[in-house]
Chains A and B, each alone.
Chain A
Amino acid sequence: EAQVTQNPRYLITVTGKKLTVTCSQNMNHEYMSWYRQDPGLGLRQIYYSMNVEVTDKGDVPEGYKVSRKEKRNFPLILESPSPNQTSLYFCASSLGRANYEQYFGPGTRLTVT
């Protein structure tokens, strides 16, 4: 089954404790992206990657890191999480051009206390 998977689905952590949210897709998609969803703000792009070893900032990259060492994986790293990073996070992938729709993972709900 074609899908985007994220882990963990739920995470509660404390300020400053490094964490990684994994994202993997099995569709051989070139483009991958991370979003955060907050009430009243919709979906905002954090980082995106056009291909292996090619990443770029979205609209809200502060406090996040990403890497793309393999085509299928695109982990999101929070080196020192803060309470304002409490949010619902989605990973997405697409074939790689602007006109293609994105396939989204199920979401990761992160709470930073």
Chain B
Amino acid sequence: AQKVTQAQTEISVVEKEDVTLDCVYETRDTTYYLFWYKQPPSGELVFLIRRNSFDEQNEISGRYSWNFQKSTSSFNFTITASQVVDSAVYFCALSEAPTSGTYKYIFGTGTRLKVLA
């Protein structure tokens, strides 16, 4: 069965520190997709990145980077030089592409990041 684990419930860092948010997933499918979403204090959910199971290349976007490792079933998210505006709840999510053609999304429980000035 699908499962996404975000073991870090809450992380606090001081501004300009680097921080890594962990995401571990379980799936039986060979084709699947991983996502990160951000939920700032205002409450909306914002898409950040997706990765498919065939692409293990790490990605960097400004201060954000993502490390996908199939060997450890992890898709970790690093914020470099954190800023107060990074304070939010971050969700990791998984979807599969079964032959049935239907699919569910499974979200982790989220990690609340607090960046202190």
A residues whose Cβ falls under 8 Å from a Cβ of B:
33, 35, 40-45, 48, 50, 56, 58-59, 88, 90, 92, 97-104, 106-107
Contacts and interface: CB of A to CB of B under 8 A. Distances in A.
Contacts, number: 60
A43 B91 contact: yes
Contact of B109 (A41, A99, A101): A41
Nearest to A101: B47
Given A98-B33, A99-B97, A101-B35, A42 B107 contact: yes
A56 B105 contact: no
B97 A104 contact: no
Contacts of B93: 43
Interface in B53-89: none
Of B96, B97, B101, B103, which is in contact with the most chain A CB atoms at under 10 Å from its CB? Answer: B103
A110 to B, nearest CB: 14
A48 B35 CA distance: 18
Given A58-B104, A98-B95, A99-B33, A106 B110 contact: no
Interface residues of B, number: 27
B97 A97 contact: yes
Nearest to B44: A106
A58 B47 CA distance: 20
Given A42-B6, A45-B104, 10 more contacts: A43-B45, A44-B107, A59-B106, A92-B45, A98-B32, A98-B103, A99-B95, A104-B44, A106-B43, A107-B44
A50 B102 contact: yes
B11 to A, nearest CB: 16
A50 B98 CA distance: 13
Contacts of B16: none
**Top 3 A-B pairs, shortest CB-CB distance:** A42-B109, A43-B107, A104-B45
